[in-house]
Amino acid sequence: MTKLIERFISYVKFDTKSDENSLTCPSTKKQLKLASFLKEEMIKIGLEDVTLDENGYLMGTLPSNSNKDIPTFGFIAHMDTAPAFSGKDIKPKFIDYNGGDIILNKEKNIILSPNDFEELNSYIGETLITTDGTTLLGADDKAGIAEILTSMEYLIDHPEIKHGKIRIGFTPDEEIGRGADLFDVEEFGAEFAYTIDGGRLGEVEYENFNAASAKIEITGRSVHPGTAKDQLINALQIGIELHNLLPVNQRPEFTQGYEGFYMLSEMSGDISNAKLSYIIRDHDMKKFIEKKEFLNHIVKLLNQKYNDAIKLELKDSYYNMKEKIEEKMEVFDMALDSMIQLGIKPIVKPVRGGTDGARLSYMGLPCPNIFTGGHNFHGQYEYIPVSSMEKAVKVIVKIVENIEKNNNIK
């Protein structure tokens, strides 16, 4: 598995942070640098029909070596990292973990502690890859890319393992909800696929949030505070008032499981003009609609009070893939069975987020989500156990084997 780790470390050295404010695809040109690198690697290991389009979508094929009539299927991961934290000059650290605190950055006193992240206690005696405390790590989702390509190379080097035609897809801009925007499902040519984009060892998912974004712009009126009575309209103050009308217990830091939330993701401005950005999430479609309606109601109420000072742009991002995966549950069951055969206990839970698979499922490509092994994505405390990455590779190979042997997915 040495190549697996070498791949991962080489990939995280590429800064591929996406940008939700960009109108281009990919949203950042630097994603194309990793895409070009991966294209050459895919060709080198022996994948065929490798294509990279101008929008940063990279695809390739491992041809069938079986005489059976097997549906074409695929594995998908994304190349970008989250805009929430720096992905530049990542310096991974290898930790032989013996328990207790991990000092990521002594100078800045940044500590990865089981007191804050108790899952660390599950990895005593294992090797962890961490950040140096100044960047995210990028296991979301460069670990997924490394695991997929390592699996494909293993299959190429072991032709005795029979398999059907396998398609590989790497996408840009997943972290800003646009990874499936220009994904050509017809060109991909698969009947189903798996996104390798989950978290801890054993996670396998077919449910995710319904998601929307809200952009709010508030126009105020700046007047000297000494003569402000009945004249000043403070855009910042209106923003605070709006935020405080949303339910406190429906913030992400107070929710879990199937509980949805409103999250204030960005706020800026001054007295004259203020901007707020929210993401809205809920697994239940009825509650998702109610959340959007409630935000609309608040804006309407405040506009009556402040003479239409607020503009709201509300846009759906993706929907719960459960509705589509349930029509083809044998795809999900194949992943479960493969994990169990390898002695990995499946952790079936709803994704408290989204994957490319959510939108692709609605585009006709059912895509359950499988673990990469990583923890604490999108921040400086991100880490991934080496053994979890190795097991992800084994799961991918086992799924490939089982689809050929059982051939019960139609």
pLDDT(409) > 70: no
The CATH number of residue 218's host domain is 3.30.70.360
Question: Are 171 and 255 members of one domain?
Answer: no
Q: Could you list the residue range(s) of the whole structural domain that residue 31 is in?
A: 2-208+320-406
CATH code: domain of residue 198: 3.40.630.10
Domains of the chain: total: 2
Q: Are residues 214 and 204 in the same domain?
A: no
Instruction: Burial-class residue 110 by CB neighbours within 10 Å (0-12, 13-18, 19+).
Output: middle
Q: Residue 407 above 80 pLDDT?
A: no
Question: Which of residues 318, 352, 376 is at a domain's end?
Answer: 318
Residues 54 and 191 in one domain: yes
Gap between the Cα atoms of 101 and 120, Å rounded: 9
Same domain, 22 and 141: yes
pLDDT at position 285 over 70: yes
Residue 44 pLDDT greater than 90, yes or no: yes
Check whether residue 82 and residue 172 sit in a common domain: yes
Q: Are residues 331 and 267 in the same domain?
A: no
User: End of a domain among 318, 345, 362?
Assistant: 318
Quick one: pLDDT at residue 406?
84
* The last residue of a domain, from among 271, 297, 318: 318
pLDDT at 300 over 70: yes
DSSP 180-245: TTT--HHHH--SEEEEEEE-STTEEES-B-EEEEEEEEEE-B---GGG-TTT-B-HHHHHHHHHHH
- CB contact set of 277 (below 8 Å; sequence gap of 6+): 213, 214, 215, 216, 264, 265, 266, 267
- Give the pLDDT of residue 1: 66
Residues 329 and 214 in one domain: no
Tens digits of per-residue pLDDT, 83-96?
989 999 999 999 99
Going 285 to 291 to 297 to 299, the CA torsion angle's sign is negative
Token pair belonging to 376:
């604490």
Residues 348, 307 within the same domain:
no
Tens of pLDDT along 124-138? 999 999 999 999 999
Are 49 and 189 within one domain? Answer: yes
The per-residue pLDDT for 317 is: 86
Q: Is the pLDDT of residue 215 over 90?
A: yes
pLDDT in tens, 56-111: 999 999 999 999 999 999 999 999 999 989 999 999 999 999 999 999 999 999 99
Span 358-400, pLDDT tens digits? 899 999 999 999 999 999 999 999 999 999 999 999 999 999 9
Q: What is the pLDDT of residue 353?
A: 79
Q: Are residues 324 and 364 in the same domain?
A: yes
Q: Is the pLDDT of residue 281 over 70?
A: yes
DSSP state of 57: -
Supply the pLDDT for residue 408.
59
**Overall average pLDDT of the 310-329 stretch:** 93
**Identity of residue 361:** S
Distance, CA of 14 to CA of 88 (rounded, Å): 8
Run of H or E residues at 169? strand 166-171
Question: Is residue 195's pLDDT more than 80?
Answer: yes
Residues 199 and 258 in one domain: no
Cα 284-290-295 angle, rounded to 5 deg: 130
pLDDT attached to residue 298: 98
**In a shared domain, residues 160 and 117:** yes
Kindly list the catalytic residues: 80, 174
Cα distance between residue 351 and residue 111, in whole Å: 27
Q: What is the pLDDT of residues 303-312, one digit of tens each?
A: 999 999 999 9
> What confidence category does residue 177 fall into, taking pLDDT thresholds of 50, 70 and 90?
confident
Question: How far is the CA of 287 from the CAs of 145, 259, 260, 281, in angstroms?
Answer: 34, 10, 8, 9
